[in-house]
A and B are shown apart, each in its own frame.
Chain A
Amino acid sequence: MLMASLRNLLFRRVYTCSTTFYIPSLQLVRPTSALLPSLSTLGHFLPAPRISGQAKEWRCLSPLLASFSTSSEASTNEASASSYLSVRIRCRKDVADMLSDALLCFGASSASMDEPDDCDSTDEISINSIFTECQDVGACISNAAGSIGLKDMPSYVVTMGEHCDWIKKTQESFHPVKISEDLWIVPEWRTPPDAQATNIILNPGLAFGTGDHPTTKLCLVLLYSLIKGGEFFLDYGTGSGILGIAALKLGAALSVGVDVDPQAIRSALQNAALNNVGPQEMQLCLVDSMGNPLSAVGTTDGNVKGQSSHGIRLVAEKEKFDIVMANILLNPLMEMADHIVSYAKPGAVVGVSGILSEQQLPQIEGRYMQFLEGMSVSEMDGWACLSGRKRITKYS
């Protein structure tokens, strides 16, 4: 096996040179698409491999053959923070499942397969795999192919994808949502279908809360029934700020939004501005996972310092809010139950959501029973929202 040993020598030399280029000189058993002659010019598109890690895992099963194509909008420097590698791999249908699983084990972020049309008569299928930008695509694919026993390397095409592409695509899927007769949630780029109703304009960005999740709807319906005017409202886990802004539009006097994710705070600030909500009406605070405030921001950049102390003071003031809502997840709701309820005045309404009806609701009921009385549950699509009034006297 002189060829094999020569090949090994060659590859070892490649790795010690610590540059990224693949040797296309060896022929594959199964002929595939034409290979590009000199790949060193594409060096700036190819990620620099982690040499030591890759060399250990490299199994020289088959020579690498890669044909590269780059999308037209791939720019070199500014794309490095906001792009990813999208690889299209062709392989036989019967090995596609196993290859997808193997790709995930060897470092791909995801692997998707389009359903083949019935009129597609070839026995080949394409797998679209996504990698982060600094990964060695070729090594991962060959490791994956080798681990399931494929003798030859599947052909693949690498393209650079921009994050704004898929962000744009998901935004297209947002439509105005009707919560009740005169309350609508409208994405920023669409016109409200009913101009007379209370319309909340949203740009959800990368934070939770677009209005069409069942838990958001449950919370909004609850708010709609509770707010009479002039209440203080705390939104624990505010996401895009949707509940806080809705409360203000329905008549509350003050909304405070709290979240652990700085992206959520930024998104909520933007949405507050979109709905002409001023800093006196809506305040936001970033907290850590135990509820301690990290920083507070006002809705205008100039007043950050002034708002910050006021914001922190308000959040730190317990028993000041008439309505407290927390639409998060089971674990934080269980851990922070005391903390969340402590912000409510005695007799105030506390609502929690983000829980699944069958599996998680009994736990939440058990936990919050000591704080709340007159609890009621509303459900939609398997999700539940629990609300009750804070006990005035201690639970015995």
Chain B
Amino acid sequence: MSSLKEILTRRPVAATIRLTVPAGAARPAPPVGPALGQYRLNLMAFCKDFNARTQKYKPDIPMAVTITAFKDNTFEFTVKSPSVTWYLKKAAGIESGSSRPGHVIASTITLKHIYEIAKVKQSDPYCQYMSLEAICKSIIGTANTMGIKVQKELD
């Protein structure tokens, strides 16, 4: 819960912006440019900050970032790791999910892949309360909706 002081000094929010930017490669060009430009935010500051904070990831991984723009043209942002679907596609080696999930299987992956993905996701802000097992279950659920089969071991 926020402290009283935080509530009193909370700045009025103008907008919430969601973007996907490759790690370490933010530039004041699309997609960053138009999205932030229309709220008059300092593009250079965002790019520099974002690039510095995503240095620890492999370059050009698409990171989901949520920016909160305040009415006084300042902003804050949080960087989330790439989406589960992106990790699954990389692990399975496919470009897009199956067109008919449940009927057509696009690819298969092993439990080891799921475990590795869950470990990365655990450092995400909104997954920190969940146990590793719970994260794995939700990843398997996502894999099913994409038509990716999960096996214990590869044959």
* Chain A residues packing against B (C-beta within 8 Å): 53, 56-57, 84, 86, 100-101, 104-105, 109-115, 128, 130, 132, 161, 163, 165-167, 169-170, 172-173, 204, 206, 208-210, 212-213, 215, 329-331, 354-356, 360
Out of B20, B27, B53, B55, name the residue touching A206 (CB < 8 Å): B27
Interface size class of B (residues with CB under 8 A): 35 or more
| Most B Cβ at <10 Å: residue of A105, A110, A130 | A110
| A354 to chain B: closest residue by CB | B52
- Report the bound CA distance from A172 to B83 in whole Å: 35
* Smallest beta-carbon distance B78→chain A, Å: 14
Q: Is B15 an interface residue (CB 8 A)?
A: yes
- Report the bound CA distance from A326 to B125 in whole Å: 33
Are B44 and A100 neighbours in the complex by a CB distance under 8 Å? no
Please indicate the chain B residues that have their CB under 8 angstroms from the CB of A86 in the complex.
34
Are B40 and A170 neighbours in the complex by a CB distance under 8 Å? yes
* Smallest beta-carbon distance A214→chain B, Å: 9
Given the known A-B contacts A110-B31, A113-B16, A206-B29, are A166 and B38 also in contact in the complex, defined by CB atoms under 8 Å?
Answer: yes
Mostly, the A contact residues are mixed
Given the known A-B contacts A84-B30, A112-B18, A206-B28, are A213 and B44 also in contact in the complex, defined by CB atoms under 8 Å?
Answer: yes
The 0/1 profile, CB within 8 Å of A marked 1, for residues 82-109 of chain B is: 0101000000000010010000000000
- Report the bound CA distance from A360 to B24 in whole Å: 14
10 more contacts with CB within 8 A, not counting A105-B83, A110-B19, A113-B17, are A86-B34, A109-B35, A115-B12, A115-B13, A163-B33, A165-B38, A166-B33, A170-B37, A172-B40, A331-B59
Q: Is B45 an interface residue (CB 8 A)?
A: yes
The 0/1 profile, CB within 8 Å of A marked 1, for residues 106-141 of chain B is: 000000000000000000000000000000000000
Are A115 and B16 neighbours in the complex by a CB distance under 8 Å? yes
Are B37 and A105 neighbours in the complex by a CB distance under 8 Å? no
Please indicate the chain B residues that have their CB under 8 angstroms from the CB of A161 in the complex.
34
Are B53 and A356 neighbours in the complex by a CB distance under 8 Å? yes
Q: Is B43 an interface residue (CB 8 A)?
A: yes
- Report the bound CA distance from A213 to B42 in whole Å: 10
Are A208 and B34 neighbours in the complex by a CB distance under 8 Å? no
Given the known A-B contacts A166-B37, A170-B43, A173-B42, are A100 and B18 also in contact in the complex, defined by CB atoms under 8 Å?
Answer: yes
- Report the bound CA distance from A356 to B73 in whole Å: 23
Interface residues of B in 48-77 (CB under 8 A from A): 48, 51-53, 55, 59, 64, 73
* Chain B residues packing against A (C-beta within 8 Å): 12-20, 24, 27-31, 33-45, 47-48, 51-53, 55, 59, 64, 73, 83, 85, 96, 99
Please indicate the chain B residues that have their CB under 8 angstroms from the CB of A100 in the complex.
18
| Most B Cβ at <10 Å: residue of A112, A161, A167 | A112
Are A208 and B47 neighbours in the complex by a CB distance under 8 Å? yes
* Smallest beta-carbon distance B106→chain A, Å: 11
* Smallest beta-carbon distance B97→chain A, Å: 9
Are A132 and B24 neighbours in the complex by a CB distance under 8 Å? no
Given the known A-B contacts A110-B31, A360-B55, are A104 and B15 also in contact in the complex, defined by CB atoms under 8 Å?
Answer: no
Please indicate the chain A residues that have their CB under 8 angstroms from the CB of B19 in the complex.
104, 109-110
- Report the bound CA distance from A115 to B69 in whole Å: 9
- Report the bound CA distance from A299 to B15 in whole Å: 42
Please indicate the chain A residues that have their CB under 8 angstroms from the CB of B42 in the complex.
170, 173, 212
Please indicate the chain B residues that have their CB under 8 angstroms from the CB of A209 in the complex.
44
Please indicate the chain A residues that have their CB under 8 angstroms from the CB of B35 in the complex.
109-110, 112, 130
Are B52 and A132 neighbours in the complex by a CB distance under 8 Å? no
* Smallest beta-carbon distance B58→chain A, Å: 10
Q: List 30 A-B contacts (CB under 8 A).
A: A57-B96, A100-B18, A109-B20, A110-B31, A111-B17, A112-B16, A112-B18, A115-B13, A130-B35, A163-B30, A163-B34, A166-B33, A166-B34, A166-B37, A167-B33, A167-B37, A169-B38, A170-B33, A170-B37, A173-B40, A173-B41, A173-B42, A173-B73, A206-B29, A213-B48, A215-B48, A329-B52, A331-B59, A360-B52, A360-B55
